[in-house]
């Protein structure tokens, strides 16, 4: 059952030093935090069958994840391709080259006005398609990224004991969401505070220019699980840099600006909540910022430095408003969509129940949606484990995506089923040239439907069929039928299909191992 590949040569660099900063206030000071998720994602990549010996790791990164992957690639004999952009620090660039990394810098001027992040992802997809045995860790959507932090949580509770509050910056979402989830298994009351910066869309700010690396970006990563957070703070760059200097001058810790931001918020929270144990996450050291954050000349060019800096946050009513200084918002463990639509959490408002009931009557209100996947997104669905008796009937993600990466994305469409920011299921729709022999050209066929074991029993199987039908009605109006082939031995799947509106066609396909019944739904006539 347990077959793990261990890549632990750099293990001693993975965990932070725990520094007591004040009564009840602890800093978790990492050398290079991303080593922890990088190592775990690679180990699990091997376990899932995605990463082969000597294979090539391909990732889009201009930050420390790239460095962590490069260090591990050297240790364990993998090749590494990084797609990056102008924001890649020149010293980091040199270091990566020394480590044998193939780096491609994508320039900003892309055709069709596509954002730089999307351009990087497009280029990455080309590499993944060209290079056999290539593996994309996909830190923004890989569920193993947050899972990596179980080890960090272990260290924290062993050193600190009871923890009341966890505070840290949010980039991919892995460290804060992962650690919070693990700690809440023990301390359900744990107060989690995310630290962000104005104009970062992660927590509902309108998009704009963000000048602190490690934060912000134009895409909200899947791994940012908004429901983990009780409170969100936004700090301006000047405020972050001041926190960074205070952390250095007051405690001797030479850390990066996101650490400074976490420190500033944690110090305030700890002072206003005496007697509580607070942990602040400091993701990386200050060396990359010697010529910026730690340089007086550079600092003097920062807007608002050093005059316009708040010493405590201003509570705001909505995260969408324009922010001019340190602000905080009671997030109350809601999804981003719930916050945007003004839905109140039960712990925040008394009349929430009625609002919830009315909003939850539709799939959209339930927070359910389909998300299209690229043919390289295998890690995004790897956490959807099945019971052993179901495994027999459904191809594992490694097999499904091995097939997908060699097939045209115009006729095979991979989808995630997302409910309240959680990826609960997955399926593939095939049309035209990709149709199996038993399906007529007027149909679209449904394949590889999988609802994660821990999400089963909530009607998500039916939901998936409904969302598939909806997608077809909207995107393929000429299609009249959705069809599926179910192994005759797979009673549970057959029942699910029948209760989702499928009807037997009487047709039987021989299948590779055993016969399959062909079922079909007639979509609305037009």
Partner 1 sequence: MYETQGNGEATGHHGELLQGVFEDKDGQLHRGLISLPCRRLKSKATFRATSGEKISITPPHCQKAERAAELAVKRFARIRTGGHLSIESNIPVGRGMGSSTADVLASILAVLNYLDVQPSSGSIMQVAVNAETACDSTLFSQQAVLFAHREGIVIESFSNSLPPIDYISVDTAPDQTVDTLSLQPAQYSAAEIETFRPLRGLLRRAISASDLGLLGLVSTASARINERFLRKPRLHDIQAIGVRYGAVGIQVAHSGTVVGLMFDPTNRKTAENMERATSDLKSDGFRPSIVSHESELERTNV
Residues that bind partner 1 (CB under 8 A): 1-2, 4, 6, 8, 44, 143-144, 147-148, 150-151, 153-159, 161-162, 182-183, 185-187, 383, 385, 387-388, 453-454
Residue 407: CB minimum distance to partner 1, A: 28
Of 364 and 385, which has the nearer Cβ to partner 1? 385
Scored b (16 or more CB within 10 A) or e, 60-96 reads bbbbbbbbbbbbbbbebebbbbbbbbeebbeebbeeb
Q: H-helix or E-strand containing 181? A: helix 174-186
Residue 206: CB minimum distance to partner 1, A: 34
Residue 265: CB minimum distance to partner 1, A: 23
Residue 10: CB minimum distance to partner 1, A: 13
3-state secondary structure string across 54-100: CCEEEEECCCHHHHHHHHHHHHHCCEEEEEECCCCCHHHHHHHHHCC
Residue 453: CB minimum distance to partner 1, A: 7
Q: How far apart are CA 69 and CA 39, in angstroms?
A: 8
Of 63 and 397, which has the nearer Cβ to partner 1? 397
Q: Is 15 in contact with 33 (CB distance < 8 Å)? A: no
Of 9 and 357, which has the nearer Cβ to partner 1? 9
**How big is the chain by its Cα radius of gyration, in Å?**
24
Residue 371: CB minimum distance to partner 1, A: 21
Q: How far apart are CA 170 and CA 25, in angstroms?
A: 20
312 by DSSP, 3-state: which?
A: coil
Of 382 and 497, which has the nearer Cβ to partner 1? 382
Residue 58: CB minimum distance to partner 1, A: 23
Residue 348: CB minimum distance to partner 1, A: 24
CA distances for 243 relative to 194, 237, 258, 286, 308, angstroms? 16, 10, 9, 13, 13
Quickly tell me which residue has 């405690």 as its tokens.
251
Of 113 and 388, which has the nearer Cβ to partner 1? 388
Of 2 and 77, which has the nearer Cβ to partner 1? 2
Q: How far apart are CA 130 and CA 433, in angstroms?
A: 22
Q: Is 281 in contact with 262 (CB distance < 8 Å)? A: yes
For 324-451, strand residue ranges (E) read: 327-330, 368-373, 412-419, 422-430, 443-451
25 by DSSP, 3-state: which?
A: strand
Residue 379: CB minimum distance to partner 1, A: 12
Our measurement of the distance from residue 31's CA atom to the centroid of its chain's CA atoms, rounded to an integer in Å, reads: 22
Residue 177: CB minimum distance to partner 1, A: 12
In this structure, the number of other CB atoms found within 10 A of the CB of residue 522 comes to 10
Q: How far apart are CA 356 and CA 439, in angstroms?
A: 41
DSSP state of 374: -
Closest to 301 (Cα-Cα) out of 291, 311, 314, 313 = 291
Q: Is 272 in contact with 290 (CB distance < 8 Å)? A: no
Of 174 and 198, which has the nearer Cβ to partner 1? 174
Residue 184: CB minimum distance to partner 1, A: 10
Q: Is 246 exposed, middle or buried (0-12, 13-18, 19+ CB in 10 A)?
A: middle
Of 180 and 270, which has the nearer Cβ to partner 1? 180
Of 6 and 109, which has the nearer Cβ to partner 1? 6
Q: How far apart are CA 93 and CA 63, in angstroms?
A: 10
Residue 166: CB minimum distance to partner 1, A: 12
Residue 1: CB minimum distance to partner 1, A: 8
Of 182 and 289, which has the nearer Cβ to partner 1? 182
Q: What are phi and psi of 195, to 5 degrees?
A: -115, 125
Of 60 and 180, which has the nearer Cβ to partner 1? 180
Q: H-helix or E-strand containing 169? A: strand 165-169
Of 77 and 161, which has the nearer Cβ to partner 1? 161
Of 133 and 385, which has the nearer Cβ to partner 1? 385
């Amino acid at each position: 059952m347990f077959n793990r590949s261990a890549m632990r040569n750099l293990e001693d660099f993975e965990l932070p030093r725990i520094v007591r900063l004040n009564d009840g206030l602890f800093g978790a000071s990492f050398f290079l935090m991303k080593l922890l998720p990088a190592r775990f994602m690679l180990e699990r990549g091997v376990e899932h069958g995605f990463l082969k010996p000597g294979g090539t790791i391909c990732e889009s990164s201009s930050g420390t994840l790239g460095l962590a992957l490069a260090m591990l690639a050297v240790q364990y004999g993998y090749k590494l391709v990084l797609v990056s952009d102008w924001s890649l620090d020149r010293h980091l660039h040199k270091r990566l080259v020394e480590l044998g990394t193939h780096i491609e810098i994508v320039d900003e001027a892309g055709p069709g006005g596509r954002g730089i992040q999307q351009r990087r992802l497009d280029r990455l997809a080309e590499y993944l398609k060209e290079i056999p045995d290539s593996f994309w860790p996909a830190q923004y959507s890989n569920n193993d990224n947050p899972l990596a932090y179980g080890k960090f949580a272990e260290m924290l509770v062993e050193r600190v004991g009871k923890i009341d509050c966890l505070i840290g910056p949010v980039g991919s979402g892995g460290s804060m969401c992962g650690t919070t989830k693990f700690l809440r298994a023990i301390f359900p009351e744990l107060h989690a505070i995310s630290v962000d910066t104005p104009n970062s869309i992660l927590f509902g700010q309108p998009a704009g220019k963000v000048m602190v690396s490690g934060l912000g970006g134009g895409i909200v990563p899947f791994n940012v699980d908004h429901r983990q957070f009780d409170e969100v703070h936004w700090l301006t760059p000047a405020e972050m840099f001041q926190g960074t200097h205070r952390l250095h001058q007051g405690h001797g810790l030479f850390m990066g600006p996101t650490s400074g931001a976490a420190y500033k918020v944690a110090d305030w929270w700890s002072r206003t909540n005496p007697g509580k144990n607070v942990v602040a996450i400091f993701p990386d050291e200050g060396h990359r910022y010697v010529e910026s954050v730690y340089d007086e000349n550079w600092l003097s060019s920062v807007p608002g430095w050093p005059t316009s800096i708040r010493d405590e946050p201003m509570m705001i009513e909505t995260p969408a408003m324009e922010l001019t200084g340190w602000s905080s918002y009671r997030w109350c463990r809601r999804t981003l969509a719930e916050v945007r639509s003004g839905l109140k959490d039960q712990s925040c408002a008394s009349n929430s129940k009625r609002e919830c009931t009315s909003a939850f009557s539709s799939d959209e209100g339930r927070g359910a949606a389909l998300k299209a996947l690229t043919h390289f997104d295998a890690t995004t669905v790897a956490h959807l484990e099945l019971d052993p008796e179901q495994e027999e009937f459904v191809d594992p993600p490694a097999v499904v995506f091995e097939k997908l990466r060699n097939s045209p994305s115009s006729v095979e469409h991979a989808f995630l089923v997302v409910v309240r920011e959680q990826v609960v299921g997955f399926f593939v729709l095939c049309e035209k040239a990709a149709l199996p022999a038993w399906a007529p050209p007027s149909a679209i066929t449904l394949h590889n439907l999988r609802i994660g074991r821990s999400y089963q029993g909530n009607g998500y199987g039916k939901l998936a069929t409904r969302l598939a039908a909806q997608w077809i009605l909207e995107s393929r109006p000429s299609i009249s039928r959705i069809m599926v082939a179910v192994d005759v031995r797979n009673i549970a799947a057959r029942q699910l299909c029948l209760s989702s509106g499928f009807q037997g066609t009487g047709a039987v396909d021989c299948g590779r191992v055993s016969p399959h019944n062909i079922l079909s739904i007639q979509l609305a006539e037009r």
